[in-house]
Amino acid sequence: MDIIDDAVNSLLRYDNYIMTTHINPDGDALGSLTGLGLALFNMGKNVVMIMPHSIPAAFQFLPGARQIKKVVDHLAGFDMAIAVDCTDLNRIGEGVREVFCRTENIANIDHHISNRFFGNINVVDPKAAATGEIIADLLQKAGISIAPDIATCLYTALVSDTGSFKQQNTTAKSLRTAAFLLDRGAQHRVIQRNLYEQKSLESLHLLASGLESLSLNESGTIAWMSITRKSLKDSGASVEDTEGMINYVKSLKGVEVGILFKEATNGEINVSFRSNDYLNVNQLAAYFGGGGHERAAGCIISGEIKEVEYLVLQKTEEKLYDQYCGRAIR
């Protein structure tokens, strides 16, 4: 049985659709929303796409992005509500959730393993690298022609959620779907430029200063980087430019925990933790009043940056020692 084959007919039989994706939308969320939205539109359906949050600059180039509305102007009259890339209805913006609850047919198209199967139709495939991959499959199986604009949206979804096919979720199927989308006219160059080549000189100068501060503990298992108020000011970059810098910290050979210290204007220190294979950084962050996931967490600590670094590093060494000695690793 193929979940997609089953869903195709029940998904595409209506005339009036409302669609949304999760709040704080990323590339898979927006690429999937616009990709499926434009496909339904091209089929002659009425489609309202909603995203109450603002669309990150990197994804504003997406065909269909301008057709996404912030608020719903009518609550009823939809035959079907489709949520893409959403684990559950709590990840949908408040105003939209109301419309979803009033609509008889809810379709839930997603690839998260934690999906709650909240739809009448649930097309959930955790093996798919991106929700965009599922939608490409669905349109193909429905025999719907994929116009270049749609291909661009879905390719963006795939590239975003696989880190350009670097991440472990990348499968042969993801790559074949990407090839198919290029054949259908996905604008590879436009996507790359918007996703990866819009850096400012200031942000790269800030990265330089961050990398300069990069340090390792004696055993080479903990690495950390500090972004001070001074380095922000000297580079002329903004706090948003620190996005992704933690990845450099954990790309070091042999490192288990990467830590990023960011000095905020109010004197507090934002601390981000990432671990590669075994340390539960959620517990570590919780010790300092923060939280997150096992491999990615954070907390906020008041104090001088050097003091906070000392405190956090000491605790990290301790946790690492406890956990490392507690079980056999690698």
Of the candidates 5, 117, 127, 196, which one interacts with its own copies according to CB under 8 A?
196
| Helix 172-183 vs helix 148-162: crossing angle, to nearest 10 | 150
327 interacts with its own copies by CB under 8 A: no
Nearest to 83 by CA among 51, 39, 127, 55: 51
Q: According to CB under 8 A, which one of 192, 219, 238, 302 is a site residue for its own copies?
A: 192
Q: Determine, following the binding rule CB under 8 A, whether residue 65 of this chain makes contact with its own copies.
A: no
Could you say whether residue 198 binds its own copies (CB under 8 A)? yes
Say if residues 181 and 136 touch (Cβ distance below 8 Å). yes
In the list 76, 143, 166, 326, the residue contacting its own copies (rule: CB under 8 A) is 166
**283 contacts 298 by C-beta, under 8 angstroms:** no
The least CB distance from residue 211 to its own copies, in Å, is 4
Q: Is residue 283 involved in binding its own copies (CB under 8 A)?
A: no
- Give the residue, chosen from 180, 228, 278, 292, that forms a contact with its own copies under the rule CB under 8 A: 180
Asked if residue 102 binds its own copies (CB under 8 A), the reply is no
Site of tokens 């906070």? 308
| Contacting range for its own copies; rule: CB under 8 A; set: 4-12, 60-68, 247-255, 302-310 | 247-255
| DSSP assignment letter at 318 | H
Q: How far is the CB of 224 from its own copies (least distance, A)?
A: 11
CB of 70 to its own copies, least distance (A): 25
Q: Token pair for residue 143?
A: 């025999």
What 3-state DSSP class applies to 177? helix
Which of 10-18, 102-110, 125-133, 252-260 is the region at the interface with its own copies (rule: CB under 8 A)? 252-260
Q: How far apart are the first and last CA of the chain?
A: 38
Q: Which residues pair with residue 227 across a beta bridge?
A: 262
Give the burial string for 282-316 (b: 16+ CB within 10 Å, else e): bebbeebebebeebbbbbbbeeebeebbeebbeeb
Nearest distance, CB of residue 210 and its own copies, angstroms: 8
**Token code pair at residue 152:** 């661009």
The residues binding its own copies (CB under 8 A) are: 164-168, 170-173, 175-176, 178-180, 182-183, 188-189, 192-193, 196-201, 204-205, 207-212, 214-216, 223, 248, 250-253, 255, 276-277
